[in-house]
Structure 1
Amino acid sequence: MNGSAWPPSTLLGRLDEPIQRRLLAIGVQRSVEPGQAILREGQLESHVIVLDDALVKTTVAMADGRHALLSIRIPGDIVGEISALNGTPRSATVTTCRAGVIRIIHHNEFRAFLRSNPDAAMEIAGIVADRLRWANQRRLDFASYPVKVRLARVLWEIAKAYGRRDRDGIVVNVQLTQNELATLCGAAEISLQKSLRELREADIIDTGYRQVVVRDANALRRNALMD
């Protein structure tokens, strides 16, 4: 993937081109298929994965057997860095949402890379801080807003970060189940379904098979109390 195409929010997008090349050079390139688990919760592994050109979701198993969606990661992102740095088991399962290309980097090479490229180490620290801030914001939303507002906020953030524009609006084709979306919003699935129906009836969004189209971005922002 061309470096200019990596979003600036991702690790590769934040790195200067020479450092990008160094990081990618130490990775073993692998092709992945849709629905492939590239990291599994609980496994004691130490490598990291750079998403050269891949879209993935991270989930954790809940006590009742459901799976909670934690985040979505896009081309240019890194996953598995916490286990690689502190030697703990994987905290989540990472599953591909479409066919793509990843780079697998052994933890020894990854640590050596960080020692010789302190700017990259600082960027990874910044990414970890951003992810913690995002998680804290989710907890604040759960305590402060009703389900419909939480859903609108999550849909807007996902659309803004991962959607693509076409004539119908902003298409979010990340293959999210309603169960996963409900856990991301901190809501019961029946409550989520009611809020989705209200947004559809207002022609703010449209939903298909694991796909959401934001038809009226301004109205979605208003429902998210972001204006």
Structure 2
Amino acid sequence: MDYGGSAEDVDAGYLPAQDSFVSHAGADLCAELRGLGTRAGFDRNELLLLVDRPSDHVLLIERGFVKVQLAGNGRDLIAGLYGKGELIGEQGVMESKPRSATVVAHTACEATRIHHRDFKEFLRRHPELPLVLGRIAYERLHRADQRQINLASQDVPTRVCRQLLAWGQALGERTRDGVAISGLSRKDLAQCVGAGEATVDAALKQLGDRGLLRTRRLTFVLPDPHLLHGYLRARPIT
């Protein structure tokens, strides 16, 4: 969904990744990769990968979104949100190192699981793919750096607005009441913007009082995303 404005108005640090492994590698190679694995479904908040565990497989996300979590000071921080077409866990497999982060189903999702030996053999048959994976790793690092800049340079209300707009753009569904973002909690939002739940609740109340947001269980509704976008642009630079 396009709210108008420039890419800076809804930072890349808040949006799910746009250039997936599938878009880089191509449909034919990805079909071959899928043939090496098995497909499985995961419920919301179900664990897909656990930090420090052996890297014994990779996951190709087929449906839904997963979140990469890093342990913070007393609370987990969502380092990235990845959806359909993304390959997860490949760096640990390629480097034969334990998992560096925990991956959890952000929404109900499906993924193809490929054993590490099959994945390494797949890479040997296609020597161009490590370069593709290197570009993806660079893009992820850039996005992670942008998120850290956001956390350091923007106040919580600004981060909340940007995250809601990004979710609306990537995950929102147009309804009679506005753009509905379903399946996500206030805790999810707090983890994404790196703030305490009480602070995030205060920002949400402020938006609700202005008529820019409605909330119900596991749902955020933006009555008019363009108005929220305009409110964000009018906020003092922080």
TM value normalised by structure 2: 0.79
Mapping of residues 133-144 of structure 1, within 5 Å: 133-144=142-153
Aligned to 1:218: 226
Match of 1:184 in 2: 192
In structure 2, the residue matched to 1:57 is: 67
Within 5 Å, give how 1:38-117 maps onto structure 2: 38-64=48-74, 66-117=75-126
Question: Cα RMSD (Å) of the superposition?
Answer: 2.5
Cα distance, 1:108 vs structure 2 = 2.3
Counterpart CA distance in 2 for 1:202 and 1:13 is 40
Q: Is the alpha carbon distance of 1:8 and 1:118 closer, same or farther for their aligned partners in structure 2, counting shifts above 3 Å?
A: farther
Kindly provide the CA deviation profile for residues 172-227 of structure 1, in whole angstroms up to 9, marking residues without a partner as x. Answer: 22423x33422321323222111111112222222222222222212222344399
Residues 226, 70 of structure 1: CA spacing in aligned structure 2 closer, same or farther, 3 A cutoff? farther
Q: Is the 8 A contact 1:57 1:94 kept in 2?
A: yes
Contact (CA 8 Å) 2:157, 2:200: kept in 1 or not?
yes
- Does 2:168 correspond to 1:159? yes
User: What's the secondary structure of 1:225's corresponding residue?
Assistant: helix
Structure 1 residue 104 displacement after superposition = 0.7
Gaps of 5+ in 1: 1-6
% identical equivalent positions? 26
CA distance in 1, matches of 2:60, 2:225: 31
Is 1:149 matched with 2:154?
no
How far off its partner does 1:98 sit? 4.2
Whichever residue aligns with residue 203 of structure 1, its letter is G
Counterpart contact for 1:51–1:78, Cα < 8 Å: yes
Tell me the number of residue pairs that the alignment of Structure 1 and Structure 2 aligns: 219
Provide the rounded CA distance (Å) in 2 between the counterparts of 1:99 and 1:188.
25
Distance, in Å, in 2 between the alignment partners of 1:100 and 1:143 is 31
**Structure showing greater relative contact order (alpha-carbon pairs closer than 8 Å, 6 or more residues apart):** 2
Shift of the 122–142 alpha-carbon distance from structure 1 to 2, 3 Å rule, reads same
Q: CA deviation at 1:136?
A: 1.4
Letter of the structure 1 residue corresponding to residue 69 of structure 2: T
For 1:15 and 1:195, how far apart are their aligned partners in 2?
41
Task: Provide closer, same or farther for how the CA distance between residues 147 and 101 of structure 1 changes in structure 2, counting only shifts above 3 A.
Answer: closer
CA contact (8 A) 1:149 1:225 kept: no
State the 1:49 CA deviation: 0.6
Structure 2 unaligned segments of length 5 or more: list them: 1-16
The 3 A distance-change label for structure 1 pair 41 and 217 is same
Contact 1:47–1:84, Cα closer than 8 Å, also in 2? yes
Distance in 2 of aligned mates of 1:110 and 1:179: 35
In structure 2, the residue matched to 1:9 is: 19
Q: Is the 8 A contact 2:61 2:86 kept in 1?
A: yes
| Aligned-residue offset at 1:160 | 1.7
State the Cα distance separating 1:27 from its structure 2 match.
Answer: 1.5
Say if 1:47 and 1:80, in contact at 8 Å, map to a contact too: yes
The answer as to whether partners of 1:19 and 1:120 remain within 8 angstroms in 2 is no
